[in-house]
């Protein structure tokens, strides 16, 4: 609590004289007459950040801490002040609110001088003005030094945390890659045996057994695709994806993608149209990897397009401002579209729009479940070829189905070099 007492208990003139050395006696007497002694217990707030600066305080006995307070309740320690030090002068000079909070850290006695008498004396005394200015400059210098030290410490901590995260990320990537490899091997064997059983004469004759085996093959194929996708992502994350280039007719690759999707398209009563692909120039790229790109894009279009919808794959040669001469392939659908907030996120690993489907749905069922790796893999492969990929959509609406468009551009000059 702020407890004023009479000046007679403290000889204000004798206390201020050595602190304000060089000040005219008349001005010293003016300040001494305006001074009032105040006492504060430990923890008491002498000045609150944001309050009007209506006085300057000279510490007679005890000490204070000066802190910066933040909206989240945290504080930043600035400095301490002890006997003979003035506090609160900056707010007087700036004619604004207090820039920091001052608290007593031990029983405190101060002389409080109001704003008007202090500024009147300050205006008549260049020596006092210079002394205040030097003190403020020193305090700012100390504050800057403290900020630099804190920033340096924070940078070191952030660097250490980054290195730790990088190590953890590498451990995670290694674990995923090893696990996928280890699991893919027995699954591949299981798939092979199941496919052999599919064509066994005894099983072909028994409709119940054939149905069971077909279910095993379908589920095992899906599991095998998931492991392959995980391996593709792990290679992208570790920079181990190898692009083996060869002359490439894009129409051949896309025709293969179309053939694979025919069953799913028929099952969903969907139309797939291809246009402009025959006129695309021959380029060089990795056929297997680019097949994966458009397989993922077509599956994505099928998944987010209601039954009876239409998908169009179009190719053309385009001059790109960044890539130069390019081959452009776009996949357009009449699906539910993409929300604006999702456009920049859909290529992230494991990201899925809308509610996550946890049921065991097929990869081409409407809004079916999946690990959310297809678009991330497609982007990684396109970037590895020196190209770029992006999505366009006016928005997401399951009733009006505004559709979406995925565009892939591959630089011809780089590919054919």
Closest CA to 299 of 345, 333, 255: 333
Rounded percentage of the chain residues whose pLDDT exceeds 90: 35
Phi and psi torsions of 37, nearest 5°: -85, 135
**In 3-state terms, the chain is what percent helix, strand and coil (to 5)?**
50, 20, 30
Would you state the CATH architecture of domain 157-238?
Orthogonal Bundle (1.10)
Mean pLDDT of 320-324: 87
* Of 85-94, 101-110, 149-158, 231-240, the least confident: 231-240
Residue 324: the pLDDT is 87
Rounded percentage of the chain residues whose pLDDT exceeds 70: 83
- Coil, helix or strand for 132? helix
Higher pLDDT, 9 or 237: 237
Closest CA to 240 of 309, 158, 177: 177
pLDDT bucket at 137, cuts 50 / 70 / 90: low
What is the DSSP track for 159-181?
A: HHHHHHHHHHHHHHHHHHHHHHH
pLDDT bucket at 38, cuts 50 / 70 / 90: very high
> pTM to 2 decimals?
0.55
Residue 333: the pLDDT is 96
- Class of the 246-415 domain? alpha beta
Residue 349: the pLDDT is 66
Residue 416: the pLDDT is 44
For residue 247, pLDDT beyond 60: yes
For residue 359, pLDDT beyond 60: no
Higher pLDDT, 135 or 285: 285
Within 10 angstroms of residue 294's Cβ, the number of other Cβ atoms is 22
For residue 224, pLDDT beyond 80: no
For residue 212, pLDDT beyond 60: yes
pLDDT bucket at 358, cuts 50 / 70 / 90: very low
Mean pLDDT of 159-178: 78
In whole angstroms, give the CA distance from residue 373 to residue 412.
27
For residue 354, pLDDT beyond 80: no
pLDDT tens digits for range 376-388: 889 999 999 999 9
Higher pLDDT, 107 or 51: 107
Q: Which residues contact 33 (CB under 8 A, 6 or more apart)?
A: 7, 12
In whole angstroms, give the CA distance from residue 240 to residue 234.
8
Higher pLDDT, 138 or 199: 199
* Of 17-21, 133-137, 320-324, 389-393, the least confident: 133-137
In whole angstroms, give the CA distance from residue 417 to residue 412.
8
pLDDT tens digits for range 10-22: 788 888 888 888 7
pLDDT bucket at 63, cuts 50 / 70 / 90: very high
Mean pLDDT of 386-396: 93
In whole angstroms, give the CA distance from residue 29 to residue 307.
93
pLDDT bucket at 369, cuts 50 / 70 / 90: low
- Coil, helix or strand for 87? strand
Residue 176: the pLDDT is 67
Residue 350: the pLDDT is 60
Same fold, 3-124 and 157-238: no
In whole angstroms, give the CA distance from residue 276 to residue 280.
7
Residue 144: the pLDDT is 61
Mean pLDDT of 201-230: 82
Query: What CATH number does domain 3-124 carry, 2.60.120.10, 1.20.1440.230, 3.30.565.10, 2.170.190.11?
Result: 2.60.120.10
Using CB atoms within 10 Å of the CB of residue 389, give its burial: 0 to 12 exposed, 13 to 18 middle, 19+ buried.
buried
What is the DSSP track for 286-337?
A: -HHHHHHHHHHHHHHHHHTS-TT-EEEEEEEEEEETTTEEEEEEEEEE-SSB
- Spell out the domain ranges in the chain: 3-124, 157-238, 246-415
In whole angstroms, give the CA distance from residue 40 to residue 44.
6
pLDDT bucket at 3, cuts 50 / 70 / 90: low
pLDDT bucket at 8, cuts 50 / 70 / 90: very low
């Amino acid at each position: 609590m702020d407890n004023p007492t009479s000046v007679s208990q403290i000889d204000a003139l004798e206390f201020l004289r050595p602190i304000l050395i060089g000040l005219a006696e008349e001005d010293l007497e003016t300040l001494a007459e305006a001074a009032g002694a105040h006492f504060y217990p430990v923890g008491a707030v002498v000045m609150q950040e944001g309050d009007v600066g209506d006085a300057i305080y000279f510490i007679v006995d005890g000490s204070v801490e000066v802190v910066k307070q933040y909206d989240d309740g945290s504080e930043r320690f600035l400095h301490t002040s002890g006997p003979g030090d003035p506090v609160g002068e900056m707010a007087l000079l700036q004619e604004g609110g207090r820039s920091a909070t001052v608290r007593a850290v031990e029983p405190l006695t101060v002389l409080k001088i109001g704003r008007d008498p202090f500024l009147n004396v300050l205006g008549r005394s260049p020596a006092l003005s210079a002394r205040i200015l030097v003190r403020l400059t020193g305090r700012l210098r100390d504050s800057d030094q403290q900020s630099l030290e804190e920033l340096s410490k924070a940078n070191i901590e952030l660097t250490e945390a980054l290195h730790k995260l990088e190590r953890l990320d590498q451990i995670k990537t290694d674990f995923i890659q090893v696990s996928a490899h280890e699991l893919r091997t027995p699954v591949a064997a299981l798939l092979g045996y199941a496919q052999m059983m599919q064509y066994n004469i005894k099983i072909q004759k028994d409709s119940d057994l054939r149905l069971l085996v077909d279910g095993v093959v379908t589920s095992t194929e899906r599991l095998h695709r998931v492991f392959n996708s995980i391996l593709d992502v792990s290679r992208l994350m570790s920079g181990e994806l190898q692009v083996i280039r060869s002359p490439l007719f894009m129409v051949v690759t896309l025709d293969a993608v179309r053939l694979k999707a025919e069953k799913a398209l028929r099952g969903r009563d969907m139309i797939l149209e291809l246009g402009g692909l025959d006129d695309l120039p021959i380029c060089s790229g990795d056929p297997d990897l680019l097949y994966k790109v458009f397989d993922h894009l077509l599956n994505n279009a099928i998944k987010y397009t209601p039954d009876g919808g239409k998908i169009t794959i179009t190719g053309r040669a385009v001059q790109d401002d960044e890539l130069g001469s390019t081959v452009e392939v776009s996949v357009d659908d009449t699906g539910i579209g993409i929300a604006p907030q999702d456009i920049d996120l859909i290529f992230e690993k494991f990201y899925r729009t809308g509610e996550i489907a946890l049921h065991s749905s097929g990869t081409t069922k409407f809004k079916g479940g999946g690990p959310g790796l297809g678009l991330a893999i497609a982007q990684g492969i396109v970037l590895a070829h020196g190209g770029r990929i992006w999505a366009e959509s006016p928005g997401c609406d399951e009733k009006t189905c505004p559709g979406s468009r995925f565009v892939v551009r591959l630089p011809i000059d780089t590919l054919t070099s």
